[in-house]
With several copies, the nearest count.
Chain A
Amino acid sequence: MTIRIQTEDFDITKEINLLKEERSKCGKEDVGAIVTFTGTVRDMAGKTPISSMSLEHYPGMTEKQLEAIAEEANKRWPLLGTTIIHRIGELNPGDNIVLVITLSSHRHAAFEAADFLMDFLKSKAPFWKKEQPLEGEANWVDARDSDKKSLTRWEK
Chain B
Amino acid sequence: MKILYFAWVREKIGKSQEELEIPNSVSTVADLISWLETKGPEYRAAFENKETNNSAIKQSHVDHRTPLNNASEIAFFPPVTGG
Do chains A and B make direct contact within the complex (CB under 8 angstroms)? yes
A interface, CB within 8 angstroms of B:
39, 55-58, 60-61, 64-65, 86, 97-98, 118, 121-130, 140-144
B75 within 8 A of A: yes
CB proximity of A30 to chain B, nearest CB, Å: 17
B61 within 8 A of A: yes
Q: Which residues of B contact A142 (CB under 8 A)?
A: 79, 81
Give Cα A20–Cα B61 distance, bound, in whole angstroms. Answer: 33
Give Cα A141–Cα B72 distance, bound, in whole angstroms. Answer: 30
Known: A56-B7, A61-B75. A127 touches B80 (CB 8 A): yes
The A interface is mostly helix, strand or loop, or mixed, namely mixed
B interface, CB within 8 angstroms of A:
4, 6-8, 56, 59-61, 75, 77-83
Q: In the complex the two chains form, is B6's CB within 8 Å of A128's CB? A: yes
Q: In the complex the two chains form, is B82's CB within 8 Å of A140's CB? A: no
Known: A97-B83, A140-B78. 4 other contacts (CB 8 A): A61-B59, A121-B82, A128-B7, A130-B7
A-B CB contacts (within 8 Å), total count: 70
Q: Which residues of A contact B60 (CB under 8 A)?
A: 61, 64
Q: In the complex the two chains form, is A122's CB within 8 Å of B82's CB? A: yes
Q: Which residues of B contact A128 (CB under 8 A)?
A: 6-7, 77-78, 80-82
Q: In the complex the two chains form, is B56's CB within 8 Å of A61's CB? A: yes
CB proximity of A149 to chain B, nearest CB, Å: 14
Q: In the complex the two chains form, is B83's CB within 8 Å of A124's CB? A: no
Nearest-neighbor residue (CB-CB) of B11 within chain A: A140
Known: A126-B6, A140-B8. A60 touches B81 (CB 8 A): no
Known: A58-B4, A61-B56, A140-B7. A127 touches B77 (CB 8 A): no
Nearest-neighbor residue (CB-CB) of B7 within chain A: A128
CB proximity of B70 to chain A, nearest CB, Å: 19
Q: Which residues of B contact A61 (CB under 8 A)?
A: 56, 59-60, 75
Q: In the complex the two chains form, is B77's CB within 8 Å of A118's CB? A: no
Q: In the complex the two chains form, is B81's CB within 8 Å of A58's CB? A: no
Q: In the complex the two chains form, is B78's CB within 8 Å of A127's CB? A: no
CB proximity of B81 to chain A, nearest CB, Å: 4
